[in-house]
């Protein structure tokens, strides 16, 4: 093992050394380590390990992370006499921040903190690792931006031994009628109520009982998407992406999840002993596999933002073009919102992520020579794993390439300018299509909104009709780029997600279903074409032709541009205001510093 970074404390002496010994003396006596009778040995020469996790009681996804981290710390001490520091990191909960519009400026919402919390989480992780001269790191991930932020932090710490561990997915709740319910049901409850599909009593019951225990969203939203991709990149305990957080009693951490924590500890110590770092693991093969896996799992559009940012951290050239190049991959996981199951079903009915990865390798879809933190190749990790057998496609969580959920990915990246005398490209610098409602093309009149709340009200009141294309703008990265789940959930709940399209410069949750276009750039706040669309303009989109246009010629759009005035807005103090001045476009990963 090479020289430890933590040797700094003994070399420098003084206050840093005394603080180091003082902390260690107290920490070893914690009940989950050595207990009150434990004696601190001042000549400790093991590695300085840090275990970081998303903290906060309001974050249901991460609520069990402290207990999980304590279990790992106790294991490291009892099994190896290795001390590890536990560090909670502030984490935004996407679900609880939905729709918090500011009264003085309805275009802004607390959801605008979500995307930028990725940088805050990653920066906090790196800050603690550097301040404390950590030799090796375990990052426990859970809610959306803790997974993306943990992966981003790992890329910035690529020259250290780092292992990610996903805290696990939530189990489904149960309604008073005995119906299985989860976050997707809760999201769509308002729409179902407005459409008369449920009554007020059932609506309220869904909200109370749909999330019964800790764990990330059960559907293939951003949390599960990024967890699967962290495993695919080779930087996480592979199976942890699909293992539930809790026992069926909703009270105790699943034994297998605790064992994965122990596996993370063993993997990390092996990396330390062999002087291996993430730089020895991640390369171009890793990201090529991740791009294919994103499409195969029917993953979240948010991954199109996060993967390029993480690749840049690793020093690897990878972006939207590389993701789009794999878009012919069929969707093979039968999970909501593309299918009908949730992540717990992948674990309990199909054996988890490992059999699925094995099938992907067998079909030649991903490269088994890519490396993992476990020490060998992905192929080595899968050597004793049995690929799934297929009998009844409609009721299988993993589908075969012969009977896929969808024959082609529901994600499509459109990056071209087709402007002419009769039409104008809405997103000449790029947009992302999510086409999971059945059709891959759409044409209809624009219904233009600048506030999500107004669009939601119009949908629930029936003022947006079948065949309309909702254009929701001034939601781009300059103002936080909030997820607009309330809108798409209202459409899905009313059964309109296949007949009304949405085009926006904002983001959408991975839970969202429909004919959806997101990440439109240039955004409205920068004077992009989406800012110039007027009520009734014809919107055309085509996933197969990779086209997004408004049927208004360039000359007319230029006239509108000359009349356009940028709206006044005052961003709240804090991350939103800071990020708006420095954040790069979504296509570049929404990173907080200039391209190098």
**DSSP-derived secondary structure for 222-267:** HHHHHHHHHHHHT-B-GGGGTSBSB-TTSSSB-HHHHHHHHHHHHH
pLDDT at 303 (0 to 100) = 97
**Looking at the structure, do residues 362 and 429 belong to the same domain, yes or no?**
no
The answer on pLDDT for 192 being more than 90 is no
Residue at 585 is within a domain: no
CATH of residue 560's domain is 3.50.30.80
Residue from 383, 328, 337, 330 nearest 485 by CA: 337
- Listed residues 381, 402, 434: the one ending a domain: 381
Tokens, residue 513 = 């279903």
Asked if residue 181 and residue 224 are part of one domain, the reply reads: no
Mean pLDDT of the chain: 92
Mean pLDDT of 353-367: 98
In a domain, 4, yes or no: no
Say whether 509 is catalytic. Answer: yes
pLDDT in tens, 91-119: 887 777 766 666 656 566 777 788 889 99
Are the C-beta atoms of residues 205 and 175 closer than 8 Å to each other?
A: yes
* Boundary (domain end) residue, out of 360, 381, 402: 381
Smallest Cα–Cα separation from 9: which of 51, 39, 44? 44
The DSSP bridge partners found for residue 515 are 435, 501
User: Per residue in 401-459, pLDDT tens?
Assistant: 999 999 999 999 998 899 999 999 999 999 999 986 578 899 999 999 998 889 999 99
Whether 241 maps to a domain, the answer reads yes
Residues 205, 280 within the same domain: no
Same-domain pairing of 152 and 282: yes
357 and 314 belong to one structural domain? yes
Tens digits of per-residue pLDDT, 53-96? 998 788 888 999 999 999 999 999 999 999 999 999 988 877 77
Range of the domain at 526: 411-569
Number of domains, the chain: 3
Tell me whether residue 38 is in a domain.
Answer: no
Catalytic residue among 124, 231, 419, 509: 509
**DSSP 8-state assignment for residue 218:** S
Do 429 and 522 fall within a single domain? Answer: yes
Instruction: Encode pLDDT of 255-274 as tens digits.
Output: 999 999 999 999 999 999 99
- Global confidence as pTM: 0.95
Q: Residue 98, Cβ neighbours under 10 Å: how many?
A: 20
Position 580 pLDDT exceeds 70: yes
- What pLDDT, on a 0 to 100 scale, did the predictor assign at position 106? 56
pLDDT at 449: 96
Q: State whether 198 and 299 are in the same domain.
A: no
Residue 189 covered by a domain = yes
Query: What's residue 105's pLDDT?
Result: 60
Point out the domain boundary residue: 381, 399, 433.
381
Co-location of 446 and 554 in the same domain:
yes
Mean pLDDT of 34-38: 91
Asked if residue 3 belongs to a domain, the reply is: no
Residues 159 and 189 in one domain: no
Q: Is residue 327 part of a domain?
A: yes
**Residue 140 and residue 208 in one domain:** no
Residues 437 and 363 in one domain: no
% of the chain at pLDDT higher than 70:
97
Judge whether 100 and 114 are in contact, CB under 8 Å.
no
pLDDT in tens, 299-335: 999 999 999 999 999 999 999 999 999 999 999 999 9
The answer on 324 and 441 residing in a single domain is: no
Q: Where residue 308 sits, what CATH number does that domain have?
A: 3.40.50.2300
Check residue 316 and give its pLDDT: 97
Handedness of CA 53, 278, 587, 378 (dihedral sign): negative
Asked if the structure places residue 492 within a domain, the reply is: yes
pLDDT at 181 (0 to 100): 86
């Amino acid at each position: 093992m090479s020289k430890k970074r933590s040797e700094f404390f003994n070399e420098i002496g003084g206050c840093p050394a005394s603080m180091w010994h003082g902390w260690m003396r107290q920490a070893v006596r914690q009940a989950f380590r050595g207990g009150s009778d434990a004696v601190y040995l001042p000549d400790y020469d093991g590695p300085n390990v840090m275990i970081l996790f998303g903290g906060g009681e309001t974050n249901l996804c991460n609520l069990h992370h402290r207990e999980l981290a304590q279990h790992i710390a106790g294991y490291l001490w009892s099994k190896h006499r290795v001390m590890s520091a536990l560090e909670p990191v502030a984490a935004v909960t996407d679900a609880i921040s939905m729709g918090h519009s500011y009264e003085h400026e309805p275009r802004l919402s607390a959801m605008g903190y979500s995307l930028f919390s990725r940088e805050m989480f990653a920066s906090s992780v790196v800050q603690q690792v550097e301040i404390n001269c950590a030799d090796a790191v375990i990052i426990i991930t859970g809610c959306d931006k803790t997974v993306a932020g943990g992966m981003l932090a790992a890329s910035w710490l690529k020259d250290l031994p780092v292992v990610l561990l996903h805290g696990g997915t939530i189990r489904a709740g149960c309604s008073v009628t005995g119906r299985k319910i989860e976050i997707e049901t809760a999201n769509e409850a308002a729409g179902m109520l407005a459409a008369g599909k449920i009554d007020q009593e059932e609506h309220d019951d869904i909200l109370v009982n749909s999330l019964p225990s800790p764990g990330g969203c059960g559907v293939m939203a951003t949390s599960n998407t990024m967890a699967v991709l962290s495993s695919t990149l080779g930087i996480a305990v592979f199976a942890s992406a699909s293992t539930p957080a809790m026992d069926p009693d909703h009270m105790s951490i699943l034994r297998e999840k605790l064992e994965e924590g122990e596996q993370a500890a063993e993997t990390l110590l092996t990396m330390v002993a062999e002087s291996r770092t993430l730089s020895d693991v991640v390369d171009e093969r890793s990201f090529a596999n991740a791009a294919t896996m994103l499409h195969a799992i029917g993953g979240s559009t948010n991954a199109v933002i996060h993967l390029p940012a993480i690749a840049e951290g690793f020093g690897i050239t990878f972006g939207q073009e590389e993701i789009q190049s794999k878009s012919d991959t069929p969707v093979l996981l039968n999970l909501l919102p593309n299918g009908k199951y949730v992540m717990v079903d992948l674990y309990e009915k199909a054996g988890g992520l490992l059999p699925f990865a094995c099938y992907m390798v067998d079909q030649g879809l991903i490269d088994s020579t890519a490396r993992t933190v476990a020490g060998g190749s992905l192929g080595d990790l899968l050597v004793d794993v049995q690929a799934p057998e297929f009998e009844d496609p409609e009721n299988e969580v993993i589908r075969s390439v012969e009977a896929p959920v969808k024959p082609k990915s529901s994600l499509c990246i459109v990056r071209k300018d087709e402007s002419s005398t009769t039409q104008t490209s809405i997103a000449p610098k790029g947009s992302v299509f999510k086409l999971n409602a059945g059709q891959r093309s759409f044409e209809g009149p624009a219904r233009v909104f600048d506030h999500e709340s107004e669009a939601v009200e119009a949908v629930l009141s029936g003022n947006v009709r079948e065949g309309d294309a909702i254009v929701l703008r001034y939601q781009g990265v300059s103002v936080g780029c909030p997820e607009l789940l309330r809108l798409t959930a209202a459409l899905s709940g009313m059964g309109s997600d296949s007949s009304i399209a949405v085009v926006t410069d904002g983001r959408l949750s991975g839970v969202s279903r429909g004919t959806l276009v997101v990440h439109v750039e240039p955004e409205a706040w920068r004077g992009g074409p989406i800012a110039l669309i007027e009520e009734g303009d014809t919107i055309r989109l085509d996933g197969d032709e990779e086209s997004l246009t408004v049927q208004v010629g360039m000359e007319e759009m230029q006239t509108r541009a000359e009349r356009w005035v940028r709206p006044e807005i005052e961003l709240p103090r804090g991350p939103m205001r800071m990020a708006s001045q420095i954040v790069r476009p979504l296509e570049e990963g929404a990173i907080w510093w200039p391209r190098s």
